[in-house]
Amino acid sequence: MRTYEEDYLLSIENPAAFWQQRQSDIEWFNAPTKTLSQDGNGSWRWYEDGTLNSCWLAVDRHIEGGRGDATALIYDSPPTESIATLTFNELGERVRKVAGGMRQMGVLKGDRVVIYLPMIPEAIVAMLACARLGAIHSVVFGGFAARELALRIDDAEPKLLLTASCGIEFDKVIAYKPLVDEALRLASHSVENVVVKQRQQCEAEMTPNRDLDWDRWERESPDAEVVEVNALDPLYILYTSGTTGRPKGVVRDNGGHAVALAYSMNAVYGVDEGDVFWAASDVGWVVGHSYIVYGPLFKGCTTILFEGKPVRTPDAGTFWRVIADHGVKTFFVAPTAFRAIKKEDPHCSLLRQYDISSLEYLFVAGERCDAPTWHWLNDHLSVPVIDHWWQTETGWSICANMAGYGLKEMKPGSLTLPVPGYDVRILTDEGVEAPPNVDGNVVVAPPLPPGALPTIWRDHDRFEASYWSAFPGFYATGDGGFRDEEGYVYVMGRTDDVMNVAGHRLSTGQIEEAVASHPAIAECAVVGIRDSEKGQVPIGLVLLKDGMNIAQDVLERELIQMVRKEVGPFTNFKRCVVVKRLPKTRSGKILRQVMRKMVDGDAFTAPSTIDDPEILNEIREDLTEAGLIGSAI
């Protein structure tokens, strides 16, 4: 067995040789003879003359290999009190029908299809059906505002839109069809057909001569066979927030994506064919694309589609129940989910009701895993808790403690080491490589490995400006951090979450670790606000654990002392505010920049990805009551 050190060294010194070895991890229609090349824009591209089909790799290959009766998908939906399974045979049958229905509507290779669905099996079927035809899917998170959906429709210019009558959050039914109708009214691009999956919780009103009922459409459609595509042909467009407010369409190609994800399933997550893998995300996000749909199915794993939340579906033990019921081997989720669980069940008492002995690895990502959450998990679980880091743009891990090579020493707060293919550097603002333990900008030297974005949909200039202009010759991740003497990587947060306090460059993550370690605090966010003397100073916004009763002034004094002790007096941490909730994106990222601008009195726009816009009014009230809005400390 090759070691991590051998593979990483080869991947950096001779990336073409390393990824040529990995290309045999998938089955090609025509194996590539060119591993690494550059296109007309100068972007590095992988396997340019290879041909394949991502749906065939995810479904048909397993059927032809005799595993048609193996379970491909488990749909677990606490809100609807339903659990269903699909074998590879059953999944394949549905995908062929939906692809056939799309083809009858004129969807061909290269056409776009927008998918606006909740976490139901139709979402996965739709994605795979697009891949089967060589069409390009663009999944939009179900429940996104009509204006945001319209922006994506105008950018992708889809021939077809697939949706459902509603989604469900806790006990709240969210009607999707009125949002779709409004989006199509706002959009300049005209969509010819809309297919609607009617759910019993909310029946949608159909528009004559445009809308079709999903069940009837699927049932009456002919089968469609796979279409051979080139490795460089786009598989999907996934929109991510941009600094201008206009979403960026991250493009993922077929060939490099398949190789990277197939490699990652064992190398990073330690799973093989037949294992049960669960990523508790949504198909609207990159984690859902990579590790609910494509990665597990490429590998022949059973993947779990979970329609629910970590709490109140029905309680804070629902994660443990899903792991126990379905024999999950590797679980992947954002740390914010566990902070919600910890708030409602501080002693993890509900875990004792379930046998989770099948679980071997717990991976967290999506935001920085603070040390108190890591320790809480480590104290209550008998499996390694592995923090890893990646982005919508990369499509898979940049840094991780890789289960497939044998786990390295754990260092709480660290992501361990870069994954093979990622030449990670830490640069100062001047572009000079920073020494160990000195904060800087996290960048990656080219070429980016297979699976990473080669461009922005129809806007390559924006690709260059967004990712390659800040540090010429390097991909700028937009995150800050450092590496220690052993090369371990610590990503402390977005570079715009870095404060300059009286000349000291401080990450909000450093202070958050100290604040979050207070026994009364369930969750916190530290924000650097404007100060006339220090430039910036940090304030803490904290949520208390249920049942905690501590005076504001007492809590503030204790936190000041803890931060002084853990980080240093130069932090000038002097204020905390107890809040009811923290504003977050739907994927769990805390909106620190919005809160900072709110306190500083600067103009800001609530991002389209915000979980609940009303929370900004709550935060404003809390900060106003504390005397912070629009004024420095």
Q: State phi, psi for 397 to the nearest 5 degrees.
A: -65, 135
In a domain, 430, yes or no: no
What pLDDT digit, counting tens, does each position of 322-359 carry? 999 999 999 999 998 999 999 999 999 999 999 999 99
Where does the pLDDT of residue 610 fall: very low under 50, low under 70, confident under 90, or very high at 90 and above? confident
What sign has the CA pseudo-torsion 19, 20, 25, 26? Answer: positive
Which residue in this structure is represented by tokens 């009701």? 353
Q: What's residue 505's pLDDT?
A: 67
Which letter does DSSP use for residue 46 in this model?
Answer: E
Instruction: Kindly state whether residues 406 and 547 are assigned to the same domain.
Output: no
What pLDDT digit, counting tens, does each position of 194-230 carry? 999 999 999 999 999 999 999 999 999 999 999 999 9
Where does the pLDDT of residue 570 fall: very low under 50, low under 70, confident under 90, or very high at 90 and above? confident
- Answer left, alpha or beta for residue 397, where phi above 0 means left and psi between -120 and 50 means alpha: beta
For the chain, counts of helices (H) and of strands (E): 20, 32
Q: What's residue 242's pLDDT?
A: 55
Instruction: Kindly state whether residues 130 and 252 are assigned to the same domain.
Output: yes
What sign has the CA pseudo-torsion 6, 11, 15, 21? Answer: positive
Evaluate whether 178 touches 145 at the Cβ level (below 8 Å): no
Q: What percentage of the chain reaches a pLDDT higher than 70?
A: 98
Instruction: Kindly state whether residues 408 and 512 are assigned to the same domain.
Output: no
Q: How would DSSP label each residue in 87-114? A: EHHHHHHHHHHHHHHHHHTT--TT-EEE
Evaluate whether 122 touches 215 at the Cβ level (below 8 Å): no
Evaluate whether 577 touches 541 at the Cβ level (below 8 Å): yes
Out of 387, 412, 437, a domain closes at: 412
pLDDT at 244 exceeding the cut of 70: no
pLDDT at 15 exceeding the cut of 90: yes
Q: Which range of residues forms the domain containing residue 507? A: 502-625
Exposed (0-12), middle (13-18) or buried (19+): which is 353, by Cβ within 10 Å? exposed
In a domain, 150, yes or no: yes
Out of 386, 412, 438, a domain closes at: 412
User: Which candidate, 306, 298, 296, places its Cα nearest to that of 276?
Assistant: 296
What pLDDT digit, counting tens, does each position of 36-49 carry? 999 999 999 999 99
Distance CA 374, CA 372 (A): 5
In a domain, 9, yes or no: no
Q: Any bridge partners for residue 549, and if so which?
A: none
pLDDT at 360 exceeding the cut of 80: yes
Exposed (0-12), middle (13-18) or buried (19+): which is 538, by Cβ within 10 Å? buried
Two tokens, residue 622 = 């809390």
Where does the pLDDT of residue 508 fall: very low under 50, low under 70, confident under 90, or very high at 90 and above? confident
Where does the pLDDT of residue 630 fall: very low under 50, low under 70, confident under 90, or very high at 90 and above? low
Mean pLDDT of 474-483: 95
User: Which candidate, 336, 341, 339, 335, places its Cα nearest to that of 322?
Assistant: 341
**Better-scored residue on pLDDT, 247 or 13:** 13
In a domain, 429, yes or no: no
In a domain, 355, yes or no: yes
Mean pLDDT of 27-33: 98
In a domain, 161, yes or no: yes
Long-range contacts of 542-545 (CB under 8 A, 24+ apart): 542/515, 542/518, 542/576, 542/577, 542/578, 542/579, 543/343, 543/578, 543/579, 543/580, 543/581, 543/582, 544/520, 544/578, 545/342, 545/343, 545/346, 545/520, 545/521
Q: Describe the crossing of helices 15-22 and 254-267 by its angle, rounded to 10 degrees.
A: 80
Mean pLDDT of 465-478: 96
Q: How would DSSP label each residue in 364-383? A: E-SS---HHHHHHHHHH-SS
Two tokens, residue 115 = 């998918």
Largest Cα–Cα distance of the chain, in whole Å? 71
Q: What's residue 589's pLDDT?
A: 82
Q: What's residue 240's pLDDT?
A: 86
What pLDDT digit, counting tens, does each position of 270-304 carry? 999 999 999 999 999 999 999 999 999 999 999 99
Number of domains in the chain: 2
In a domain, 242, yes or no: yes
CATH value at residue 111: 3.40.50.12780
In a domain, 106, yes or no: yes
CATH value at residue 587: 3.30.300.30
Instruction: Kindly state whether residues 532 and 385 are assigned to the same domain.
Output: no
What pLDDT digit, counting tens, does each position of 413-443 carry? 899 999 999 999 999 989 999 999 999 999 9
Torsion of the alpha carbons at 544, 547, 550 and 556, rounded to the nearest 10: -10
Instruction: Kindly state whether residues 406 and 511 are assigned to the same domain.
Output: no
Instruction: Kindly state whether residues 102 and 220 are assigned to the same domain.
Output: yes
Out of 356, 388, 412, a domain closes at: 412
Which residue in this structure is represented by tokens 């937009």? 478
Instruction: Kindly state whether residues 391 and 539 are assigned to the same domain.
Output: no
Which residue in this structure is represented by tokens 């001569």? 209
Q: What's residue 17's pLDDT?
A: 98
Evaluate whether 298 touches 487 at the Cβ level (below 8 Å): no
Instruction: Kindly state whether residues 404 and 547 are assigned to the same domain.
Output: no
